[in-house]
Chain A
Amino acid sequence: MARSWRWIAGLALAAMLLAACSQGGTGAGTEGSGGDQDSNQLTVIGPWSGAEMEQFLPVLEEAERRLGITIQYQTQRYEDLAQVLPAQFEAGQAPADVIFMWDWWVKEHAQDAVDLKDIWEPEAGAFRMPAAEAGGQVVAVPYALTVKPGFWYRKSFFAEHGLEVPATWDEFVALLQRLAEIEGVQAPVASGDGTGWPLSDVVEHFLIAFGGPDLQRDLIEGRIAWTDPKVQEVFRDRLVPVLEYFSDPMDWTQAVDLWWQGEYGLYFMGNWLTGLVDDPSDLGVFPLPGARGMVAATDYVFVPRHSPRAEKAKQLVAFLISREGMELRARQGGKLSGRNDVPAEAHPAVDQEVARLLEGAELLPDLDDAIGGDWQRTFWDQLKLLWVEPGQWQGVLERLEQERGR
């Protein structure tokens, strides 16, 4: 029996040795990304694929040229990263040297992020959105902007049916009614879905338009309850009465195609829509009449502490948020400059109209992105319910408040 235990001990030892060897050739125990060979090769993880990735890659190519590095880009959704990163960090590993992620999430994992204060402070004044800070450190910095300016329409469709952009709430409701009467139109407004965020964008736009920008900020900070009369008023008097004009939630990319084909008259979406249609010059957009603010969502980028090339990674981030780097990104389209010193003219023609809207509007953080956590998921899910059961709006608000209180 003693011999058997010696064998088992031997096997366990061999397994441990194998595991130790697979930690990485450099012997840097807590270092990540395989503790890698080539210190000039960086890996960047971002959420963009398809056309959005094509718009981002030229920026990375320019960074490669300027910094003398090579960059490998990988696409991973934030939802998937949220699942993968904690275990990687726990093991002292990082799947990439530069990672785009929700700001609330990076704040929650601040101990795993490199302090970017030295590269952020010289640029902070030029940025429209704040950095993500935790424990006195800058753990993530904002990059390019996407805005949710309002309802998009096809100029040719409006011209064909003699429709005009509404200037008042009554005109908006009348427009919805006219759209409903057009033959071949399934519903006046297409409702994008998937995970639920497109519906949240619509709701935020209503909150800002009829409750004012402060309502959005108060809800983010938890200074006002979801069951507050002010919120109830927006839901009861503005949003819920027009939900009958919205389609059932459908996959948001599918909704783009159907709306473009004329099966729906309007579509509420962020400005990245310009990169998803065949003829961006046919696009027009209008906010809800009276809206003084606009949600501007930004992608946050951080450098994981476990990256063995953290210094190079910081150089790359510094380039991304520099005026030149940002202007280069703006030129590719689909995103707006996160800096206010990049002129609207730097954007492609189709984005310039939206870029100019930024100048007059109050930019606000995306409500559900800012709160994050499971509340965000509940928000998306409850709105899916609201869309098909508008009569349950009070229950929806109560559920949101209950979840917010946790």
Chain B
Amino acid sequence: MRPLPGRPRRSRRRDPLWLAAPALVLILALVVVPAAETLWLAFVDAGGRWAGLAHFQAVLQDPETLAPGRFPGSPPPWGSLVHNLVWVALHLPLTTGLGLALALLLQEVRGGSLLRSFVFLGMVTPLVVGGVLIRFLFDENAGVIPALFRNLGVESLARTWTAYPQLALPALILGSVWLWAGFAMVLYSAGLASIPRAYYEAALVDGAGWWSRFRHITWPSLRPVTAVVVAMTVLWELKIFDLVYTATQGGPGGASMVLALQMYFYGFRSLDPHRAAAVATLLTLCTLLIGLWFVRTAEGGERG
């Protein structure tokens, strides 16, 4: 549309900049500058001289980051990098699968909303509290899980899981499945509600069974939701800290150490900000890769 003659033409491009200015200032001060400084710290030594990749090398040579030869033949510790990958390999399918299963189950159940709220409680529980709960959940004297295995006669699992290197990491992962599955469930529930009923009615008319309807209607319709769940869960697994800190402190013997916790120990126990910054940079790189994948997936979805 052409502007009316005599009226000054307003730039439509400037307004958003004005509106974004306060947020941009905050992002600059609280995100960009600290991130740049962290990156800088990772490449310089204590005297501010260029150190190249020395801190990265030191971090990767630390047996707490990578314990060569131990994975997968020996029990943990395998190093925080491997532990984070194990988190992703186990926790991601478990939470995603459980969240989807719960969403499907509770979809048609009377009182499903209430039950969903209960499951979601784990998600809103502070992770520090979650860590304490996990410690007690798997405690030989007070925990439900060892008691369950004791009753089943499985004595090897009727002990304090967080005290044993073979069991500490599984305890944390299983505990966090319980805490995090509510997130996937809520997103999947919303996704399920958005699928038109007509699809299912048409499929029923065609004689499609449950599995066929799930495979050809539900699962493809939930793909964008799955992308969000996967991206958010992987990011959460990469930055996992408080749960591990409270439940095991990364032990015993480093058997449940994760990168974020290692970064904390470098920074606040070793008082070495450079190695901490190197871990932070590695974590950011991993996070960026996931973020890029997610953006590309989302864009692909929009185009498709």
Contact = CB atoms under 8 A, between A and B. Distances in A.
Interface string A1-30: 100100110011001000000000000000
Contacts of A385: 165, 251-253, 255
B140 A388 contact: no
Contacts of B270: 373-374
A15 B30 CA distance: 13
Contacts of B214: none
A196 B254 CA distance: 13
A36 interface: no
B254 A381 contact: yes
A1 B160 CA distance: 65
A250 B251 contact: no
A258 B139 CA distance: 13
Contacts of A7: 18, 21
Contacts of A384: 163, 251-253
Nearest to B269: A374
A98 to B, nearest CB: 22
* B interface majority secondary structure: loop
Interface in A235-261: 248-251, 254, 258
Chain A CB within 10 Å — which of B135, B253, B254 has the most? B253
B83 interface: no
A249 B249 contact: no
A385 B135 CA distance: 16
B253 A382 contact: yes
B178 to A, nearest CB: 20
B89 interface: no
B165 A388 contact: yes
Contact of A82 (B21, B25, B140, B268): B268
Contacts of B266: 374
A392 to B, nearest CB: 8
A4 B15 CA distance: 9
A195 B164 CA distance: 15
Given A11-B21, A15-B25, A384-B251, A248 B269 contact: no
Interface string A141-174: 0000000000000000000000000000000000
B123 to A, nearest CB: 26
Interface in A349-406: 373-374, 376-377, 380-382, 384-385, 387-389, 392, 396, 399, 402
B14 interface: yes
Contacts of B268: 82-83, 86
B102 to A, nearest CB: 32
Contacts of A376: 269
Contacts of A193: 163
Interface string B251-290: 1111100000000111011110000000000000000000
Contacts of B91: none
Contacts of A183: none
B152 interface: no
B48 to A, nearest CB: 16
Interface string B4-25: 0000000000100110011001
Given A15-B25, A82-B269, A388-B165, A381 B249 contact: yes
A8 B268 CA distance: 37
Contacts of A258: 141
B281 to A, nearest CB: 20
B252 A381 contact: yes
A248 B160 contact: yes
Contacts of B141: 250, 254, 258
A242 B180 CA distance: 41
A381 B250 contact: yes
A195 B251 CA distance: 10
A248 B163 CA distance: 7
A38 interface: no
Interface in B144-192: 159-160, 163-165
Contacts of A278: none
B21 A249 contact: no
A248 to B, nearest CB: 5
Contacts of A4: 14, 17-18
A250 B138 CA distance: 11
The 10 A-B residue pairs whose C-beta atoms are closest, nearest first, are: A385-B253, A384-B252, A374-B270, A381-B251, A374-B269, A385-B252, A248-B163, A384-B251, A248-B160, A83-B268
10 contacts: A4-B18, A250-B139, A250-B140, A251-B139, A373-B270, A380-B249, A384-B163, A385-B251, A385-B253, A387-B252
Given A4-B18, A8-B25, A388-B164, 5 more contacts: A4-B14, A4-B17, A373-B270, A380-B251, A385-B255
Interface of B: 14, 17-18, 21-22, 25, 63, 135, 139-142, 159-160, 163-165, 249-255, 264-266, 268-271
